[in-house]
Amino acid sequence: MTDAVLPKGLRRARKAAARFTTPLLPDDYLLLLNPLWSVRELRGRVVKVVAETADAATLVIRPGLGWSFDHRAGQYVGIGVEVEGRFHWRSYSLTSEPRRDRRHISITVKAMPEGFLSRHLVDGVGPGTVVRLALPPG
């Protein structure tokens, strides 16, 4: 991801700030303030986990910079979750409607028997967890 996702004014401010923050980048400081303010990778914060059944849950996620809220029904998102120091990626269909909520997305995960990440998403991820996201293809 590049800073092309940012509004023009913010891009200019980043360039100007880089003069003062070298050798670190402005992003390094911004990330200390808010982990969702990354232009290097798309991130999201889990804000709510709603238990649907004993083995399924809906995760409501607030995406950070770079998410455009123009996804369509049927599209899926990549989600990367850190478990014991390693990121594990899986795909999940988007269950939220961008016309209704332009701040959050949601996915519904069914924990698979012996499944590694689905079980973790249903049982082990709580509000506040920061995840990586991959934009829906297309």
Ligand X SMILES: Cc1cc2nc3c(=O)[nH]c(=O)nc-3n(C[C@H](O)[C@H](O)[C@H](O)COP(=O)(O)OP(=O)(O)OC[C@H]3O[C@@H](n4cnc5c(N)ncnc54)[C@H](O)[C@@H]3O)c2cc1C
Q: Cβ closer to ligand X: 30 or 133? A: 133
In one-letter notation, the amino acid at residue 70 is D
Find the binder of ligand X among 38, 96, 106, 118 (CB under 6 A). Answer: 118
Q: Which of 7, 85, 113, 126 binds ligand X (CB under 6 A)?
A: 113
Local structure of residue 134 (DSSP, 8 states): E
Q: Which residue is nearest to ligand X (CB)?
A: 115
Query: What are 78's strand-pairing partners?
Result: 91, 134
Is position 115 an interface residue for ligand X (rule: CB under 6 A)?
A: yes
75 lines the binding site for ligand X (CB under 6 A): no
58 binds ligand X (CB under 6 A): no
Q: Which of these, 113, 77, 121, lies nearest to 95 by C-alpha position?
A: 77
